[in-house]
Amino acid sequence: MGLIFSTSFIANAAKIDAQKEVNIASSRTHADIKNKIISYIENVTITQGSLSIKAELVQVLTDSKTQFKTYIAKGKPATFKQTLDDGTPIYLQAEEIKYEPEKHIVVISGNAELRQEGSKMNGSVITYNFLTEEVLADSIDDEQVKSVIQPKQLEKIKSKDKN
């Protein structure tokens, strides 16, 4: 069973990040040139503008036809942080993070958690679409998707009303 949150929970991802260079640091790197897979092993940190991914293993797969890249990060947990266009940070953590920047999608699985402005969502698998501003959270077995949504702060509401 899935649960979808729309724009009231998440804002659009920082578009400017996609125009910045990608920096990757790790303890070791292994490249499989023939299959277009690069593995970054131990203490992996990836940054691109405000985007930050931290994990124990990250594999970067390049599609041979489109040259699009898919980042698969694994850890206990692996983390994904980004500042959105409205200035609010989004934080994701899970045992596995699959990030497809050209498709504007990140899928987190295994003790998945999404946090933003004090609100949070936990589930088995959470899919976040930066383009459509939708979140789909699923549970497996007898687990349930759990959400805690904080009310908007009165100060923020008042300052927006003045503008």
Please, which pLDDT band fits residue 11 given cuts at 50, 70 and 90? Answer: very low
CA distance 132 to 111: 24
**The predicted structure's pLDDT at residue 18:** 75
**What domains can be seen in the chain, in order of their start residue?**
2-162 (2.60.450.10)
Backbone φ and ψ of 41, nearest 5°: -120, 130
Contact 54, 78 (CB under 8 A): yes
**The predicted structure's pLDDT at residue 39:** 97
pLDDT (tens digit per residue) in 67-98: 999 999 999 999 999 987 778 888 999 999 99
The pTM assigned to this predicted structure is 0.80
Of the CA atoms within 13 Å of residue 24, those in its CB half-sphere come to 20
pLDDT (tens digit per residue) in 102-146: 898 999 999 999 998 888 999 999 999 887 878 888 887 667 777
DSSP annotation string for 31-45 = EETTTTEEEEEEEEE
Backbone φ and ψ of 135, nearest 5°: -125, 135
Helix (H) or strand (E) holding 10: none
Closest alpha carbon to 148 in 159, 137, 134: 137
pLDDT (tens digit per residue) in 18-60: 788 999 999 999 999 999 999 999 999 999 999 999 999 999 9
